[in-house]
Amino acid sequence: MSDPTPAAKPSLWELPEVPRVLPFAAFLLIGGFAGAATEASAYWVYVLKTLAGAALIWHFRPRLAELRWAISWEAVVVGVLIAALWIGLDGRIPALGTLIDTISARFSGKPVEPPKPEAPWNPLVFFGDNAALGYTVLAVRVLGRSIVVPMIEEVFYRSFFHRFVASPDFLGLPIGLWNLRAFLITSVAFGIVHPGQWVQGILCGAAYQFLVIRHKRLGDSMTAHAITNALCSAYAIAAGKWEFT
């Protein structure tokens, strides 16, 4: 009797990591070109990366069983509290780069160079001679942060990264896995990618991960993330604090 034919190995595109990592990677990669060529590219690149991220998430949705929105009172509370924390702690804690430079300066004796001021992201001013275009770009920004970004980031951090830290065979682990090492690493990683608000980022990542662990699903963390970003955007527009968009 002949041996059974071994199962064919999945292609690179068929790996379970791809639908959970590629939208996030593409979003970051495209975003890296913002402002690189012209000042206007800071706006057009954001539109491009939002559309690309949305297209990839839509394309991969049949392979992302966990990508289901869910609402709970905890998700609403966490979303509101993290927004308040994000806004309330702004400017009270040094940015991660500034903190590292300060510590380095104490050992090297070199003075800390103040960060270069950046022009606020304000499409209404930049496209002042074309109000319709300015509001369109702003709408893409708000909708992108409130809908597209929560899906991309929660699928990457909470579905993939948290479980992958616990085991490379991450699909064999439950979505609501509790693993202290994975919990801490994922929360810190979320803070590091928000260097200007790294403390808020760590607390934010921990709070969203708590929702996934508590409810054993991804939807609550996506909802909380969406509420946080929508409230920050609303505050930015109402108060003229455009750095929060």
d(CA 205, CA 134): 32
Q: Which residues of 137-167 are buried (b: 16+ CB within 10 A; e: fewer)?
A: bbebbbebbbbbbbbbbbbbbbbbbbbbbbe
Report yes or no on 101 lying in a domain.
yes
d(CA 121, CA 126): 9
Residue-level pLDDT at 7:
62
Report yes or no on 5 lying in a domain.
no
Instruction: Give the domain range for residue 121.
Output: 68-244
pLDDT average, residue stretch 43-50 = 94
List, for residues 181-194, the tens digit of each pLDDT value: 999 999 999 999 99
Residue-level pLDDT at 109:
66
Q: How many domains does the chain have?
A: 1
Report yes or no on 37 lying in a domain.
no
Residue 112 reports pLDDT greater than 70: no
Is 0.85 surpassed by the pTM of this model? yes
d(CA 117, CA 179): 40
Report yes or no on 53 lying in a domain.
no
Report yes or no on 236 lying in a domain.
yes
Residue 6 reports pLDDT greater than 80: no
Angle, helices 131-143 vs 41-60, to 10°: value is 40
| Percentage of the chain modeled with pLDDT above 90 | 71
Q: What is the mean pLDDT of the chain?
A: 91
**Band of the pLDDT at 243, cuts 50, 70, 90?**
confident
